[in-house]
Amino acid sequence: MIGQKLILSSIEKRYGEAWAVREFNLQVAPSEFISIVGPSGSGKTSLLTMIAGFEMPSAGTIRIGERDVTTLAPNKRDIGMVFQKYALFPHLTVRQNIAFPLKMRSRLTRRALETRVEEMLLLVQLEDYGGRYPNELSGGQQQRVAVARALVFDPPVILMDEPLGALDKKLREDMQFEIKRIQERHGATVIYVTHDQEEALTMSDRIAVMHQGRLQQVDTPEQLYRQPISAFVADFIGTMNFVPAMKIAERAGKDVVRLPGDTVIEVDRRSGTRSPGEPVGAVLRLAVRPEHIALGHWDKNNSSTLAGVVETSIFVGSAQIVLVRLKDRADVVLRVQRPAGEIARLTRGDLVEVKLDGATMLAFTGEERRAA
Amino acid sequence: MRTSSSLTSMKALPGFASLFKPRSARVFSPAASWLLVMPLLAVFAIGFLYPLAKLVDLSFSEGITATYGRLLDDPLYADVLLTTAAVALSVTMAAILLGYPVAYAMARARKRTAFIVAACVFVPLWTSVLIRSYAWIVLLQRNGIVNTLLIATGLTDQPIKMLYTQGAVTLAMTHVLLPFVILPIFSVLRTLPDDYIRAARNLGAGPARAFFLVTLPLSLPGVFAGATICFVLALGFYITPALVGGPGSMLMPTLIGQQTTVLVDWPFAAALSTVLLIMTLLVVILFRKTLSVQKGFGSVH
Amino acid sequence: MFIDRYSPPSHLIAPDEVSKAMSNSQLARSIAKLAAALSIGSILFFLVLPTLLIIPMSLSQTDYIRFPPDGLTLRWYVAYFSDPDWMAATWFSLKIALATTVSATIIGTMAALALVRGDLPCRNALQALSLGPMIVPHIVLGVALYLVFSPLQLTGSFTGFLIAHTVLAVPYVLITVIAALQRLDPMLELAALNCGASRLQSFFRIMLPNIAPGIASGSAFAFLASFDEATVAFFISDIGGKSIGRKMFEDIDFNLTPVIAAASAFMVAISIGLMCLAHTLTQARTQR
């Protein structure tokens, strides 16, 4: 196996008074594909430049396999990197670009080098484009050259900095699978930085979520989606609705909360998802995914249900998205996802019952503000 | 908290070793940076700073009254100073008036026309100032082309004295400095998006209004940059006034030339040079913000 | 021109009105356009006239110029190329200009690298200083250099000229190379380092090929800054060593003959040839 483990311990980076990265700890397993996501300015690119060696951390260590590379010069690190805008050398052909890392290492004979370059061209499906210059290629092709250049010398770790950011949506989706395929065949450990959480969900073994320079949570895509550790992560990964509520009692490991309109429900208290000791009377934010909200006919005689008014209903192909404004909390608009065609379409102004299931909801403390 | 051994050792490095370690891969190490500017500093110390310092020093060598005192006493010198500033100012004005339309045409015209206009701007720029001054002498002298044409067309029957006058100096200097005004204006105009003018037209402005309300104000930085460069260069211009101008149109540079070559009074010439130097530096410092020399020359190629 | 796009669509106006309105406004427009073209044309003529005049002057039969010329002759060129004074000055200037080009290009490129990518505490002050020779009046610098060179017997010497002209030429190299470096994607160097290249390898294999056009045009300017320079050359020349600029200045001042025009034509040919070369080099690179 080519991939090696990468260990980041207590990484900090400060520019003057401003912190870019704080108290960052992460262990990446050999051949793992891990994504670092976060809004812009969350410190993910700073982290990547420190792993690549372009900047030094203010404190902490970086290890690749058994080597401490914290202060090692970037050209001694043996890390492959795919840059945001590819950074292909404009004066060199595709073949020369891919051969460049091998030439700099001069471990191979001329013959072996040429064979290796042809292998890489084949791997990224550009065997007919070796003689072209980068600006004679499309965005997707340039992207593949960049991947080939990063992989050609079999680095144990590959860094990718928003590599698909410059491509249009359709091509981006194709390339996600392409990169994943190449990585699985090649076996390198990949650190993939993106601000696109969907991309991270599709490609990664694990995802690390960063916010304001700190690591919020690192987990598998599924765990992250189901068990976000904070309201920020809940909001950042996938789409999440937040409903304000007040805790009124505790019963058999569950929180009893009161929703707007005086509806009372029980919410599972799961370990690690929030501070468990919220006192009775505390304001909580209940998080619920769009697909976990059901809509029903409004029954005016049943006062214990949550009422909402339909704002819009959008058909998105595979599903129907309905925006519902709560009747008793006009500042809360819920996004509800229903399987398309299953139910009659709702129209603006319809009064509906919003059905929430405590088992699919998470409770967070009320103070945390929604991230922009 | 556990700190790495390598990091503590890095922090323990003595100050001088950090000279050789770049702060980030984006910059060179301080030692490499200094090594790279060293040749420039050396040649500038020998061929620029030291000579200028020596010049200023010489101007004080015979006591302040012998040089600067004389400068203040004789109204002739104040007169020359004023004339120099006045000529520089009129050259600048003329160059802007003539240069703006050319810059505009260069920026807006279609490819082929723009190329021809650009060629007409660059050809004089690449012709030595000496040669251009020489051509102006041939054009303006008593039996020169202009006089021949004037007589042939019957506009005058006596040749007019044009050479060795202030007018000739202004004309020739305007010609020499015109490209320095055109290029900064051009480089600003070129970057103005067409959309601004389209938007103005779309909002109901006629072509003239669109120009005076949108294009002109937005191109003013280029105009100021060009004007400052032109004024500064005009203040210190020697060749053209020396060849085209006469004794009646003495300017600071020609006065310095006369003191050194004819009267051989070096301390006084040094004092005059110091005054001219300070005048130039004052203008540059005053208009530092408008003067982006790089802007002007970045577009030369 | 965009003006035409804003005339109202013709189908909105009645046909006979169209022809009337069109003919009036279009006539006015054409006249305005013609006037603009004529005035810009005459300014352009004013710009190129002195340079173009060199050619008929250098070929004229008479020793003063008249229109139309009486006849054409090459004798002024023969006179120029066979005059030992002119030839000595020309060779002296060419030698200095070539040496200045080499030294100013190396010094200017190094300094540009330091100013753009370097870690220097007083970068702005250094940049201002390095552009100083463009701003300080050449006559002041000429007098100052004479004062230093004269006691050292550097006037009229190759070394003296090389120092003076390097100082004058460096800013041109600096400006063009700084511009080229600023256009260069800084990620390319990081990519080179990441690929395992050392700092030097990254400079020679990645940066240098990409800023080469900028360096080439900078050095063309450096050549001209030396070859066409006359003011400083006027002060630091002497009888033993005279640049073409000084020789020409003397001849214009004392002895106005068409030989000057022949020498000028030769100089202009060198300048324009050089700039065209620099232009083609730059174009060939940017095509990619």
What DSSP assignment string belongs to B11-46? HTS-TTGGGGS-SBTTS--HHHHHHHHHHHHHHHII
- Decide which of A172, A202, A228 is a domain's last residue: A228
Residue from B28, B35, B40 whose CB has the most chain C CBs within 10 Å, to mutate? B40
| Residue C108 confidence (pLDDT) | 97
Distance CA C167, CA B43 (A): 7
| Residue C66 confidence (pLDDT) | 61
Distance CA B34, CA B41 (A): 10
| Residue B87 confidence (pLDDT) | 94
| Residue A169 confidence (pLDDT) | 84
Q: In chain C, whose CA is at the least distance from the CA of A85? A: C187
Q: In chain A, whose CA is at the least distance from the CA of C212? A: A91
- Decide which of A228, A256, A290 is a domain's last residue: A228
Number of structural domains (chain A) is 2
Residues on chain C touching B36 (C-beta within 8 angstroms) = 110-111, 113-114, 118
Q: pLDDT category, B5, cuts 50, 70, 90?
A: very low
Query: Is A189 in a helix, a strand, or coil?
Result: strand
Distance CA A230, CA A216 (A): 8
Q: Give pTM, 2 decimals.
A: 0.85
- pLDDT of C5 over the 50 cut: no
- Decide which of A174, A204, A228 is a domain's last residue: A228
- pLDDT of C104 over the 70 cut: yes
Q: What is the mean pLDDT of chain C?
A: 86
Say if the Cβ atoms of C170 and B137 lie within 8 Å.
no
Distance of CA A268 to the CA centre of its chain: 26
Is any Cβ of chain A less than 8 angstroms from the Cβ of B7? yes
Instruction: Write out pLDDT tens, residues C6-25.
Output: 444 444 444 555 555 556 77
Distance CA B250, CA B239 (A): 13
Query: Is B77 in a helix, a strand, or coil?
Result: helix
The arithmetic mean of pLDDT across residues B294-298, rounded, is 44
Residues on chain C touching A153 (C-beta within 8 angstroms) = 196
Q: pLDDT category, B290, cuts 50, 70, 90?
A: low
Judge contact between C277 and C191, C-beta under 8 A.
no
Of the segments A112-126, B12-26, B183-197, C18-32, which one has the largest average pLDDT value? Answer: A112-126
Looking at domain B62-300, its CATH architecture is Orthogonal Bundle (1.10)
ipTM (interface pTM): 0.86
Instruction: Write out pLDDT tens, residues C229-239.
Output: 999 999 999 88
Residues on chain B touching C118 (C-beta within 8 angstroms) = 27-28, 32-33, 36-37
- Do A92 and A210 share a domain, yes or no? yes
Q: Which two tokens stand for residue C288?
A: 């990619």
Residue from A8, A61, A67 whose CB has the most chain B CBs within 10 Å, to mutate? A61
pLDDT in tens, chain A (372 residues): 588 999 999 999 998 888 899 999 999 999 999 999 999 888 999 999 999 999 999 999 999 999 999 989 999 999 999 998 899 999 999 999 999 999 998 778 899 999 999 999 998 889 999 999 999 999 889 999 999 999 898 899 999 998 888 788 888 888 888 888 888 888 899 999 998 888 999 899 999 999 999 999 999 999 999 888 888 898 899 889 998 888 888 877 778 888 887 788 888 765 444 555 677 888 888 889 999 998 888 777 766 678 899 999 888 888 888 999 998 888 889 999 988 766 667 888 888 888 888 888 888 876 544 433
CA-based end-to-end distance of chain A: 41
- Do A201 and A135 share a domain, yes or no? yes
Say if the Cβ atoms of C217 and B301 lie within 8 Å.
yes
List, edge to edge, every strand of the sheet that includes A362-365.
A264-268, A254-258, A241-251, A283-288, A362-365
Q: In chain C, whose CA is at the least distance from the CA of A159? A: C194
Judge contact between A56 and A46, C-beta under 8 A.
no
Domain residue ranges in chain C: 14-59, 81-287
Residue range(s) defining the domain that contains residue A62: 6-228
A275 occurs within a structural domain: yes
- Do A57 and A143 share a domain, yes or no? yes
The arithmetic mean of pLDDT across residues B233-254, rounded, is 88
Is any Cβ of chain C less than 8 angstroms from the Cβ of A75? yes
- Provide the 8-state DSSP code for A300: T
Residues on chain B touching A9 (C-beta within 8 angstroms) = 2, 4
A181 occurs within a structural domain: yes
The CATH number that applies at residue A159 is: 3.40.50.300
A116 occurs within a structural domain: yes
For residues C80, C85, C89, C90, the Cα torsion angle rounded to the nearest 10 degrees is 20
Q: Which residues pair with A211 in a beta bridge?
A: A214
Touching subunits for chain C (3+ Cβ pairs under 8 A): A, B
Judge contact between B253 and B238, C-beta under 8 A.
yes
C81-287 classified as CATH 3.30.1330.10: no
| Residue C193 confidence (pLDDT) | 94
